[in-house]
A and B are shown apart, each in its own frame.
Chain A
Amino acid sequence: MCCDEKFHELSIGDEFAPLIKKMTQEKINAYVSTAEDYNPIHVDVEFAKKTSFKGTIAPGFQCIAYISELMAREFGEGWYVGGTLDLRLTRPVRPGNTLVTRAIVADKKGADGKKIVICEVRITNQNNEDVMLGTASARSLG
């Protein structure tokens, strides 16, 4: 379904199927290896134990990708070209955390002849604590 059709079918308050992921140290290592941006808090278990986090944490940007994945699944081209994300990181993500990414339609509007769907997005951990909060929008291509 194209984003334009979807725009008409969606109602404010509609919730998309959540995305569930398990964070592991292996996934953190894979992500960090692409970044050329070494920070021991993500990958060095012994170092991380001695910090206030008491263990490794995932890069915040790694989890942002889950929201992008959900929006891409729902809006396709309208996300890849025309998507926006506004986010706050509220809690660290640790290896072993199970993360649930959700998006709820918060608004629909038109601008410059394009139709935009705005979603409230949120990632929670297995204790139902927010780790990331914000909004994401996708636009129709019509």
Chain B
Amino acid sequence: MEEKQVREWVYDDIVKGMHLPDITYTITSEILERYLDGIDDLNPLYLDEEYARKSPFGGRIVPPISMAIYTTVSNLIKPLGMVVPPGLVQAYQRYEFTGIVRPDEKLLIKSVVEDKYEKKGRKFVQLKSEVFNEKGEKVGTSWLTPIWSK
């Protein structure tokens, strides 16, 4: 089998305003269980259908911050066949939650390089990712601002 070539996505490759390939993902009940195990969260709203049905949500939901699993820089650039250079450091992150997400719902991430700049000799890149449900409603947004190592 031919090995897929990957290369590092370095600062000079990055153009302000460029859109990254769309990504889809689904938090299945099985992924959700492992995720909740990892974050040690036993909220019945995520796990107990009967409890969740009686809640204002009318059924199970997933933690809103679970979008952070899929909006990482390395995940966003994977479809480009690229990897982040070693030494990348997460400087800042912002998240906004605007709609609930349920287990097994198919979600779409649309990402753009919102900004890139140098400050005090460090190279910053701001990536904005918007997450939409199947109805096209925006359920969340993340902004990651890592410091690029090269």
Residues of A within 8 A of B (CB): 21, 27-37, 39, 60-62, 64-69, 72-73, 76-77, 79-89
Contacts and interface: CB of A to CB of B under 8 A. Distances in A.
Given A27-B39, A32-B38, A65-B66, 9 more contacts: A27-B37, A31-B39, A33-B34, A35-B75, A65-B39, A69-B43, A69-B63, A80-B100, A85-B94
B93 interface: yes
Contacts, number: 101
Nearest to A68: B65
A61 B69 contact: yes
Interface string B31-65: 10011011111010000000000001100010111
Contact of B63 (A68, A81, A89): A68
B92 interface: yes
B72 A37 contact: yes
Given A64-B68, A85-B94, A27 B38 contact: yes
Nearest to B38: A31
B62 to A, nearest CB: 10
A34 B38 contact: yes
Interface in B84-98: 90-98
A4 to B, nearest CB: 13
Contacts of B94: 84-87
B99 interface: yes
B72 A35 contact: yes
| Interface class of chain A by DSSP | helix
Contact of A86 (B66, B72, B92, B98): B92
A35 B63 CA distance: 15
Nearest to A87: B93
26 contacts: A27-B37, A31-B35, A34-B31, A34-B38, A34-B69, A35-B69, A62-B39, A64-B65, A64-B68, A67-B65, A68-B65, A69-B39, A69-B41, A72-B43, A77-B57, A79-B64, A80-B61, A81-B98, A82-B98, A83-B97, A84-B97, A85-B94, A85-B95, A87-B92, A87-B93, A88-B91
A60 B99 CA distance: 24
A65 B41 contact: yes
B93 to A, nearest CB: 5
B24 interface: no
